[in-house]
Structure 1
């Protein structure tokens, strides 16, 4: 089947617009009353995720490559543009936990995986479910790829410029910037050159085949994804008046940080096991995304709602999101 260029561009625009909504708005950052801020973030978020998807599809790689490039994206945004990974003042994150090698350790552990999952992988997964005919193909031609790359770089520069107003005078050490660039390059090479190619398109079991027992039912996957997402955020992001992760103090902050790392590894191993079998279907993918997103917004209501109005509006957005996910589930079935 020949892919319509217009259809590919529409899918790319959908992905670009959806990414900052998933990554920021549905977490309550910013609150709905400041949703206009998404206009400043869409160039780096939207173009970044579109660029990652295009590179992965052109290289014939799979979800591991998406996650690795998502981590690289997180370093670009948090390390090079915002420079929040090293800043001793921005957002107050330097006080969350002891700094390690000049890095804000808890903030780094929270945000690099967060961007890999919520800023990159989940938006790509959702658009693949909305436009399944294009899921294994690039959306754009070479010109579109170049445009996405240029917009991404300009978006990063825009974010760096605006950060100067909220963190005036700070400039990350040159050694840290060089280290970030080297790690980004290493992740890109690993994702696009070293990782093995999955079957393209992946082999699918017949629709009538029953899912193996090793693949839980979609509601179970949704619940487990929700627990993992809420748990990871709750273990690392101070909320409810806390100044450190999970209401800890001093050296005890290492406990929730280690627990978050173990939770992420356990979730990754389970997901790898489930998706390795022919019983994994689109409805399982949607349950995974839906459970994580609903829990993500529930955490935002608790942790990011500065006022009652903010909490109510975010909860209402969560209801709308749940309805849209349910409609997509009906279409997926």
Structure 2
């Protein structure tokens, strides 16, 4: 018989392995022919998400804390490891939009929320749905927590080392590094000390919860819309095919879309009628739209697009099986 502690370790391994698949592979970055690159990314992605989940569960906090720490994770990866938030050359992202205070503005707006949702929150949500009896408790003991933290730090170092070959000679300015470290510390403090603890459903629900297919559809629209507004695709070099100062329009639209989606989701989840099938619909709609966007934006060849579409169909099938089990 498998002990509770052993099941927790297996759950942590599942979360660690699932995270880079959700965050990168199902977006077509890398394409399936280069899936071996996930081995380089799993230490920072997998250990980072496991570490976030452990800290949130130990602090007795909820999804706001997960999202805040997910944003902090994004700053660590993109600002300190990749240093893509400030690099004037890496990926060509400095040309997406005007740089603000040394930051690649559109890239920053795209990737910090992206990591909070797709690199952290959705993998945690999916594993919670697969293993519902473990969702409210930590997976690991103190030793496991320390190991996850150490692997995360080593993973960030590995990512920094590999990036030095893609962006040789660049080092983020000391002021930017200090600002990123301070931002991570502030987000961690807010997440673990100041966010509200999960509460029961209110006596008077503020808004009826729509059916799961509606939740899936709206989640898909929000995910696809956010990516399409900020990520140049179809030959464009700027978000949403804009030029010059007009790039502020899709950036503002993406921000409004994210805020509106967050407010609506907060009202829905505060309702006593929100169930696991709604959570799965939310995750499924966002993931399917995310992969659909990847087929459009990231496929370098027909073979890449077809293989990503096939991966999307496999993912949809697995989500359908989980939906049957959830019902």
In the comparison of the two structures, how many residue pairs are matched?
A: 325
Aligned alpha-carbon RMSD (Å):
1.5
Structure 2 counterpart SS, 1:140? coil
The alpha-carbon deviation at position 194 of structure 1 amounts to 1.2
Distance 1:70 1:269 in 2: 18
Distance 1:117 1:298 in 2: 17
Matching residue of 1:31: 31
Structure 2 gap ranges (5+): none
Distance 1:51 1:284 in 2: 26
Tell me which stretches of 4 or more aligned residues in structure 1 moved more than 2 Å: 202-205
Matching residue of 1:192: 192
Matching residue of 1:156: 156
Describe the superposition over 1:262-310 as per-residue Cα deviations: whole angstroms up to 9, x where unpaired: 0000000000010011000000000000000000000000000000000
Contact 1:41 1:159 in 2 (8 A): yes
Normalising by structure 2, report the TM-score: 0.98
State how 1:162-201 maps to structure 2 within 5 Å.
162-199=162-199
Matching residue of 2:56: 56
Matching of residue 102 in structure 1 with residue 96 in structure 2? no
Matching residue of 2:247: 253
Contact 1:58 1:138 in 2 (8 A): yes
The alpha-carbon deviation at position 172 of structure 1 amounts to 0.2
Contact 1:15 1:50 in 2 (8 A): yes
Matching residue of 1:75: 75
Matching residue of 2:267: 273
CA distance change for structure 1 residues 7 and 169 in 2, over 3 Å: closer, same or farther?
Answer: same
CA distance change for structure 1 residues 67 and 304 in 2, over 3 Å: closer, same or farther?
Answer: same
Normalising by structure 1, report the TM-score: 0.96
Matching residue of 2:237: 243
Distance 2:296 2:3 in 1: 43
Contact 1:3 1:134 in 2 (8 A): no
The alpha-carbon deviation at position 213 of structure 1 amounts to 6.4
Distance 1:198 1:313 in 2: 40
Structure 1 gap ranges (5+): 206-210
The alpha-carbon deviation at position 198 of structure 1 amounts to 1.6
Matching of residue 17 in structure 1 with residue 53 in structure 2? no
CA distance change for structure 1 residues 47 and 276 in 2, over 3 Å: closer, same or farther?
Answer: same
